[in-house]
Amino acid sequence: MQGIELRHLRCLVAIAEEGSFSRAALRLGTTQPAISQLLKRLEDLLGQRLLHRDRHAIALTPVGEAVLAQAREALAAVEGALDTTLRTLRGEAGRLRLGLSVPSLYGGVPALIRRFRAARPGVEVDMQVLSSPDQPAALRERRIDAAFGGALPDAPDIARKVLADEVMQVLLPIWHPLAGAPALPLAALREEKWILPPLPMPLREEITLHCRAAGFTPRIAAEAPDFLATCGLVLAGAGIALAAESARGFAGPDLILAPLEGAGPRLIHAMIWREADPSPLVRRLVEMV
């Protein structure tokens, strides 16, 4: 009802639980006349008597009993909401939305997320697979709160923390003629057909630039959006590819990773988030990173 305030409800609860106006006043840190005025105001707003009073006892009317139950529920709801708000501000509750590129799923990011969830069981963590080039727009549009992906050009509104920097290796089937080599120069792969990430993934451009520096332009046999698709195409004989060392455990027994000689393309794993307004949950995640 309009006009009823939390102090009116607290007054009724204190009187009912203490059984005394004076003890209720002491509990609420006010005076007995103030308690009487608060109760009268509540009764006036409701148009009902809530208490029977005599010299020896205070008893709730039937209406008072009903209002008391509702008052307790309302106060508990408010206290619960305030507690949730405070826990959210401390990074202990709330919802964290993460964007994850496929390469980030093969490194230490899954373990990091598990640690975060174990440390903050009150936080709901939503995850979606999102390519690195799509992550900044998702942050700016507030569809996600933070993301794990590859390196992207610096942007003044996006903060970044590099997690790992891996040298790419050659992904070959075990029956490939070059599979037994301890290391391979890029130039030795000039006649191969290549499986590359699709544009506009930055890794595609970096691989192409390194191949050109080695004296050739890669012949593209297929494009693969993720590592599992790349593995399948390599196993099918479509061509060779480059992959990060962190993906070795997912390659399977019929694929090998051979190191490259000299400088080669690198896969950078990074966490990004909005620079201007990181949430308490994002700040806690950054601290853990």
pLDDT band of residue 93 (cuts 50, 70, 90) is low
pLDDT band of residue 95 (cuts 50, 70, 90) is confident
* pLDDT beyond 70 at 92: no
Q: Assign 85 to helix, strand or coil.
A: helix
Handedness of CA 198, 202, 207, 211 (dihedral sign): positive
List beta partners, residue 269: 150, 164
Same topology for domains 6-89 and 165-266, yes or no? Answer: no
Express each pLDDT in 216-272 by its tens digit: 999 999 998 878 888 899 999 999 999 888 777 777 789 988 999 888 888 888 999
pLDDT band of residue 91 (cuts 50, 70, 90) is low
Express each pLDDT in 12-47 by its tens digit: 888 888 888 888 888 888 888 888 888 888 888 888
Residues with Cβ within 8 Å of residue 120, at least 6 apart in sequence: 91, 92, 93, 281, 284
The fold of 94-162+269-288 is D-Maltodextrin-Binding Protein; domain 2 (3.40.190)
List beta partners, residue 257: 171
List beta partners, residue 274: 158
Domain boundaries, the chain: 6-89, 94-162+269-288, 165-266
CATH of segment(s) 165-266: 3.40.190.10
Architecture of domain 6-89: Orthogonal Bundle (1.10)
